[in-house]
């Protein structure tokens, strides 16, 4: 076994790998960018090395800086985690050339399976069924469009060089091909440095099922059963479980053997995952999609049902140890479900969010595990992936695991950063999910049922209670009666104190219930019902939900509206970076015209014109970093349009 291992990653997965290194008595070396100088993974490692500025290209994606950090700390091996350089063959080769053990598969296997086109050809030759689609690499936009028409709509555009849903586009209409190909290329290039695309037939109501494989350097390859990953948004997994309710033992064995053959076909070593797309109505008809040559985000559910620590076996295999297990030794016991907690705001269309973690509570124990990179004070920015942590629950059966996970999400508190915790909790309670009737389009079909922009009255009551408490004079001694917020007025009836508050739309709220405010909680009683919230600064939270309740100044708001009378200010929907600007001041635009693109956490958001008009202000350029709600541009409507609108209003 190694004495010292460098973890070439950050956040949740770095903390996860460090935990196993500590358990094995192996010294851990963390790396960090300037943005992560005080991150949890830095504090938990035995030692840590600064590798550069915040942009990933100058830190976590810099092979030279990572190798230098390994040399300076005496590391013998490098664990890449997932994301960043985990599936970069050049990094694996560079580690080998530097005398370091890359804790992952051989570089040739990474290269082969990282090219989805070559991967399909290789596993097809090994007898593994594949999805019909384009063959050959380097197709032009026109050739991709031709291939899509030949396959037949709908089709799926996929980057050849990477996964995780980045750059993936489902296209149902031919006239959308050109625009979607351009967008997919742009996102693929930003995410993987390679804009090569392939196109595949889209299987309607598909299920996404993957097989975990483990291979050593002595010719042994086994599988550890499957994971159901069909609950996805924008082609990215949000809930995973093991095992799948869809598979019987015969299909599980057949898919497992196909995954083993796929691993053997590329000379695989270490932990890897073979992903299949499966028609929900015919699980025996499964197709190879791709192989992820790394540890998966969802590996904890496999660990819980098999009892194996996959990071430990990555390390042992990389150190040259043979697997002590045969296929017959692997048993799946119980059921495990994982939820990915992401910095995103469901009420704003799941746009990336950010901020400082002001209060943090993460459940552990009694069949619940949280893998996290967070701590109080963590600054969540727009530079890196939005996933913050994973909450995993285990039980003797699926119903128990689902119930425990819902409870764990309700107990999760991340005030200061908006997350999807409450959305995931509601999703897990959806009848189709509870019944196991899943497919990759389910979440998109039911998303409107699970997202609410309504703010319960008790949230305003709690926010008002905190503010009311802050107005009360400090205890002790004489109290000036004019400083007491009683609503008393000279010569008139008392007027209750009211507060101007804003979560979404601004409201004027007068507290009407009893309340108790402590340092980090507030309880209010309305109509005989008691509601208790966690609180930190202007944030309130309960049951996984969080509200940022800000003070609203109606006078300042009216002045702002007057300054831009008749015009629409386009604001940043999320903190991020402006990557594309298509207009200039003075340009005439049409309603719905694409004007700018803002990118955050590897996600693009197009800003479009709300109406026809003229660009009167443009406050950003490509590369500008923007905060959420920051004004980007102002579009003044055409004079005749304004007149018509006034007539309609009149």
Calpha distance 542→361 (Å, rounded)? 11
Averaged over 519-528, what is the pLDDT? 96
Question: What pLDDT digit, counting tens, does each position of 302-345 carry?
Answer: 999 999 999 999 999 999 999 999 999 999 999 999 999 999 99
DSSP string, 80-113: --SSTTTT-HHHHHHHHHTTPEESSS-HHHHHHH
Q: Is the pLDDT of residue 348 over 70?
A: yes
CATH of 132-201, one of 3.30.450.40, 3.30.450.20, 3.30.1490.20, 3.40.50.720: 3.30.1490.20
Question: Per-residue confidence at 43, pLDDT binned at 50, 70, 90?
Answer: very high
| In contact, 469 and 517? CB cutoff 8 Å | yes
What pLDDT was estimated at residue 164?
A: 67
Share of residues in the chain with pLDDT > 90 (%):
75
Please tell me the total number of residues recorded for the chain in this structure. Answer: 650
For the stretch 566-594, pLDDT in tens is 567 898 888 888 999 999 999 999 998 99
- Whether 562 shows a pLDDT value over 80: the answer reads no
Q: How confident is the model at residue 135 (pLDDT cuts 50, 70, 90)?
A: low
Contacts 24+ apart (CB under 8 A), 620-623: 620/578, 620/581, 620/596, 621/578, 621/581, 622/578, 622/579, 622/580, 622/581, 623/577, 623/578, 623/579
Q: Give the whole-angstrom CA distance, residue 547 versus residue 535.
A: 10
Residue 500 burial (CB < 10 Å; 0-12/13-18/19+)?
A: middle
- If one counts every other C-beta atom within 10 angstroms of the C-beta of residue 192, the result is 20
Of 171-185, 552-566, 618-632, the one with minimum mean pLDDT is 552-566
Q: How far apart are CA 246 and CA 341, in angstroms?
A: 25
- CA atoms of 111 and 131, how far apart (whole Å): 20
* Calpha distance 610→635 (Å, rounded): 8
Instruction: Give the tens place of pLDDT for each residue, 149-164.
Output: 988 899 999 888 876 6
pLDDT score of 216: 98
Cβ(524)–Cβ(513) below 8 Å: yes
DSSP β-bridge partners for residue 605 = 598
Least confident range from 267-276, 375-384, 494-503: namely 494-503
Are the CB atoms for 196 and 141 separated by under 8 Å?
no
Which residue from 26, 31, 21 is spatially nearest to 70, judged by alpha carbons?
31
Segments making up each domain of the chain, as ranges: 4-103, 105-131+206-333, 132-201, 341-450, 454-472+500-552, 565-649
Mean per-residue pLDDT of the chain:
91
pLDDT at 489 over 80: no
Residues 6+ apart with CB under 8 A from 391: 338, 339, 341, 362, 363, 368, 369, 370, 405, 408, 409, 412
Instruction: State both tokens at 92.
Output: 């694996």
User: Other C-beta atoms within 10 Å of 161: how many?
Assistant: 21
Distances (CA, A) of 597 to 7, 116, 158, 506, 579: 34, 28, 21, 28, 6
Alpha helices (H) in 223-279, listed in sequence order: 249-265
The angle at the Cα of 244, spanning 258 to 242, to the nearest 5 degrees, equals 95
Sequence-distant (6+) residues with CB within 8 A of 500 are 506, 507, 508, 551, 552, 553, 554
Q: Which residues contact 140 (CB under 8 A, 6 or more apart)?
A: none
- Identify the three-state secondary structure at position 60: coil
Mean predicted confidence (pLDDT) in 486-509: 78
Angle at 222 between CA 221 and CA 226, to 5 degrees: 140
Cα Rg, the chain, nearest whole Å: 27
Contacts of residues 508-517 at CB distance under 8 Å and 24 or more positions apart, as own/partner, are 509/460, 509/461, 509/463, 509/464, 510/464, 511/461, 511/464, 511/465, 511/468, 512/461, 513/461, 513/465, 515/461, 515/462, 515/465, 515/468, 515/469, 517/465, 517/466, 517/469
The two tokens of residue 215 are 């291979």
Which of the four pLDDT bands, split at 50, 70 and 90, describes residue 283?
confident
Kindly report the CATH class assigned to 105-131+206-333.
alpha beta
645 falls in which pLDDT band (50, 70, 90)?
very low
Q: Which tens digits make up the pLDDT trace of 379-396?
A: 998 889 899 999 999 999
Please answer whether residues 92 and 252 qualify as being in contact, where contact means their C-beta atoms are separated by less than 8 angstroms.
no
Name the pTM for this structure.
Answer: 0.84
CATH topology of domain 4-103: Rossmann fold (3.40.50)
Helices 141-151 and 177-192 pack at an angle, to 10 degrees, of 120
d(CA 240, CA 426): 15
∠ CA 36-37-40, nearest 5°, is 70
**pLDDT at site 572:** 87
Give the least confident one: 28-37, 39-48, 75-84, 488-497. 488-497
Q: Residue 280: which pLDDT band, with cuts at 50, 70 and 90?
A: confident
Distance (Å, whole) CA 73 – CA 71: 6
| Distance, CA of 627 to CA of 304 (rounded, Å) | 40
Q: What's the average model confidence in pLDDT over 50-56?
A: 95
pLDDT at 563: 55
Beta bridge partners of 571: 631
What is 565-649's CATH topology?
OB fold (Dihydrolipoamide Acetyltransferase, E2P) (2.40.50)
Cis peptide before 524 (omega within 30 of 0): no
Least confident of 12-16, 118-122, 248-252, 478-482: 478-482
* Burial classification of residue 421, based on how many CB atoms lie within 10 Å of its CB (0-12 exposed, 13-18 middle, 19 or more buried): buried
Unique residue bearing structure tokens 């008009």 = 613
d(CA 133, CA 148): 8
Q: Tokens 């695991």 correspond to what residue?
A: 401
The two three-digit tokens of residue 310, written as one number: 């996959």
482: pLDDT strictly greater than 60: no
Contact, 387 vs 606, CB < 8 A? no
Measured CA to CA, the distance from residue 142 to residue 145 in angstroms comes to 5
**Whole-angstrom distance, CA of residue 299 vs CA of residue 289:** 18
Does this chain's domain 105-131+206-333 share its CATH topology with 341-450? yes
* CATH level 3 topology of 341-450: D-amino Acid Aminotransferase; Chain A, domain 1 (3.30.470)
Q: So what's the pLDDT on residue 644? A: 45
113 vs 144: CA distance, rounded Å = 21
**Ordered DSSP codes for 448-487:** HHH------HHHHHHHHHHHHHHHSPPSSS---GGGS-S-
Alpha-carbon gap, residue 138 to 180, rounded angstroms: 17
């Amino acid at each position: 076994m190694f004495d010292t291992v460098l973890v070439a990653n950050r956040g949740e997965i770095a903390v996860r790998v460090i935990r196993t290194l500590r358990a094995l008595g192996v010294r851990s070396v963390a790396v960090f960018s300037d943005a992560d100088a005080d991150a949890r993974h830095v504090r938990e490692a035995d030692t840590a090395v600064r590798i550069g500025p915040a942009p990933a290209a100058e830190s976590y994606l810099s092979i030279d800086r990572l190798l230098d950090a390994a040399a300076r700390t005496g590391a013998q091996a490098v664990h890449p985690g997932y994301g960043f350089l985990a599936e970069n063959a050049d990094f694996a080769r560079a580690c080998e050339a530097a005398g370091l053990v890359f804790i992952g598969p051989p570089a040739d296997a990474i290269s082969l399976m990282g090219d989805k086109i070559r991967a399909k050809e290789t596993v097809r030759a090994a007898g593994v069924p594949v999805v019909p689609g384009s063959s050959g690499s380097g197709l032009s936009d026109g050739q991709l469009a031709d291939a899509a028409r030949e396959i037949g709509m709908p089709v799926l555009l996929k980057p050849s060089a990477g996964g995780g849903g980045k750059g993936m586009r489902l296209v149902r209409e031919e006239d959308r091909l050109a625009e979607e190909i351009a967008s997919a290329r742009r996102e693929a290039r930003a995410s993987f440095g390679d804009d090569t695309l392939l196109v595949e037939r889209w299987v309607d109501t598909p299920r996404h099922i993957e097989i975990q494989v483990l291979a050593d350097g002595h010719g042994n390859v086994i599988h550890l059963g499957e994971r159901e990953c069909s609950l996805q948004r924008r082609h990215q997994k949000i809930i995973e479980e093991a095992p799948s309710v869809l598979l019987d033992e015969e299909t599980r064995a057949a898919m497992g053997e196909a995954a083993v053959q796929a691993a053997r076909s590329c000379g695989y070593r270490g932990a890897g995952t073979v992903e299949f797309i499966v028609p929900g109505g015919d699980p025996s008809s499964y197709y190879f999609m791709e192989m992820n040559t790394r540890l998966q985000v969802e590996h904890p559910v496999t660990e819980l049902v098999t009892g194996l620590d996959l990071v430990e076996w990555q390390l042992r295999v990389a150190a040259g140890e043979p697997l002590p297990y045969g296929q017959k030794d692997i048993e799946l016991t119980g059921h495990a479900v994982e939820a990915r907690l992401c910095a995103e705001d469901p009420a704003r269309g799941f746009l990336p969010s950010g901020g400082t973690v002001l209060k943090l509570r993460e459940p552990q124990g009694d069949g619940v595990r949280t893998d996290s990179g967070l701590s109080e004070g963590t600054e969540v920015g727009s530079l890196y992936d939005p996933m913050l942590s994973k909450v995993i629950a285990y039980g003797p059966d699926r119903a128990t695991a689902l119930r425990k996970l819902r409870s764990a999400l309700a107990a999760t508190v991340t005030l200061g950063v908006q997350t999807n915790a409450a959305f995931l909790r509601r999703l897990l309670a959806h009848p189709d999910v509870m019944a196991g009737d899943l497919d990759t389009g389910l979440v998109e079909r039911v998303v409107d049922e699970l997202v609410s922009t309504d703010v319960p009255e008790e949230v305003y009551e709690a926010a008002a209670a905190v503010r009311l408490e802050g107005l009360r004079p400090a205890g002790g001694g004489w109290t000036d009666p004019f400083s007491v917020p009683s609503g008393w007025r000279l010569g008139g009836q008392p007027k209750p104190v009211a507060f101007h508050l804003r979560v979404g739309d601004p409201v004027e709220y007068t507290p009407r219930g009893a309340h108790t405010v402590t340092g980090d909680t507030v309880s209010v009683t309305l109509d005989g019902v008691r509601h208790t919230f966690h609180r930190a600064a202007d944030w309130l939270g309960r049951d996984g939900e969080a509200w940022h309740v800000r003070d609203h100044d109606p006078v300042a708001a009216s002045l702002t509206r007057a300054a831009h009378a008749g015009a629409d200010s386009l604001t940043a929907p999320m903190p991020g970076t402006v990557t594309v600007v298509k207009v200039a001041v003075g340009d005439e635009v049409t309603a719905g015209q694409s004007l700018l693109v803002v990118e955050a956490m590897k996600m693009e958001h197009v800003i479009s014109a709300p109406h026809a008009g003229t660009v009167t202000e443009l406050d950003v350029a490509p590369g500008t970093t923007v905060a959420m709600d920051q004004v980007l541009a102002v579009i003044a409507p055409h004079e005749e349009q304004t007149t018509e609108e006034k007539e309609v209003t009149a």
